[in-house]
Amino acid sequence: MLTSRERLLAALAHRQPDRVPLDLGGNQTGIHKFAYQKLLDLLGVKEDLIIMDLVQQLAQPSEAVLQRLRIDTRYVWAKGAAGFEGVVVQRQRDGRTWNDFTDEFGITWSMPEDHPYYFDISCSPLAGLSLEEIKAHPFPKGDDPTRFAGLRDRALQLKRDTPYAVVSGISGVVYEFCWYLRGLENLFSDMMERPPVFEAIIDRTLQFWLDWFRLFLDEVADVVDVIMIGDDLAGQNGPLFSPKIYRSIVKPRQKRLVQYIKSRTRAKIWYHSCGSVVEYLPDLLDNGIDIFNPVQISARGMDPARLKAAYGDRLAFWGGGIDSQHVLPRGTPGEIREGVRSNVQAFKPGGGYVFNNVHNIQADVPPENILAMYDAAFEFGRY
C-alpha cells in the first residue's frame, strides 16, 4: 500500500495510485467552524476549536478528524510579519455589534456579532485614490523574513516524521487582491476607463508576491509537494470581466509568478478559481499550472466527464467531489454517496485527480453528509 505522499504524487504525475487521494484542511479545501463543531459532536470527539482562517471562519481540523476521514494531505503556512498585530476589535454600528480587523494591506474586514459566519470587506484603502496616490501608497514587505520564521522546521517535521503530502496554504493572489484594495466596482471601472490604474495596482500586488515567494522558496522549495496560488476569475456562468482584459493585463502577471515559482521548485503548482472557468483553462495551462481547483461542477460548462476528456492528460483536477451548492447541504447521505460515485468515476481514470468538496464545507452542511462524502470517496476511489 502506498503512503499518502506517494499516493498524491502518483496522482499528480497522472499515474494511477492505489486509490484517489483525499484532501481537507486548506484555505479553499477547508471546513467552516459551525460544520466542524457538528462533525466533532457526531464523532464524539472533544477538542478546542481553532480558527485557521479568520476571514472565512474555517476550523483547523485535528489529527483525529483527519485520520478518521483518511486525509492524505497536511498543510503548512507562513505567517504575518512580526510587527503586525491585526487584532479584532468590537465596534457599534447601526445598532449592531461588529467585529473588525484591518490587515497588513490596510483592508478592513467586518463580521456582525449576531451573524458570525464570515468577515467581509468594509473598507478598501485604495478606493478614491488617484494613480499617483496609488503608486505612493505604502504596501507591506513581502520579503519580511519574520513571515517565514519556523516554516522550514514545520514543513520538515511533516516531511520526515509523517507519511502525508506537504501542501502550502494559499498565496500568490495577484489579481484578487487588487479589488480587495480598490473595491470591486471601482476596479472594474478602472479596467474599462483607467487601465493604467489597474496596471499600477496589479504590478504592486505581483511584486509583493514575487518578494514573498523568494523567501518562501528559500525556506521550503525542496520540502513542499504542492504550492497553492489562485485568483477567482469567473462566476457561475463565465468570466467575471472581459477575457481580453484578462489576457492583456492579468495573465502576463500570473504567468510571470508561476514561471518564477517553477524555476525554483519541483513542487506542483495548484491554481484556484471558482466558477465557470472553461474558457481560461488553456490560458492557465499556458501559464504553467499543474493542478486546477475547486472544479465547480455546478457552474456552466464544468461537467466532470467533459473536463477530464479535454484536459485530463495535462491538468490534474483537485475538488469537484460533489455539488456543494445543492446536494451536499440539502441531500441525503444516499444522494451524497451517489453524487460522489459519479464524479469520482469521471475524474479518476489514469490518475490526475485529488478528491475534495467543491471549495470549503459550509456552515449548513450536516455532519452525516460530510462522513458520507468522504466514506464514498474512499470506497469509489479505489483503482
Q: CA 304, 309, 315: angle at the middle one, nearest 5?
A: 85
The CATH number of residue 194's host domain is 3.20.20.210
Give me the number of domains the chain comprises: 1
Residue 85's pLDDT is what? Answer: 82
Closest alpha carbon to 23 in 71, 76, 77: 71
Name 239's bridge partners. Answer: 234
* Model pLDDT, residue 286: 98
Residues of the chain with pLDDT under 70: none
pLDDT value for 330: 96
At residue 1, the pLDDT reads: 86
For residue 213, the enclosing domain spans 4-380
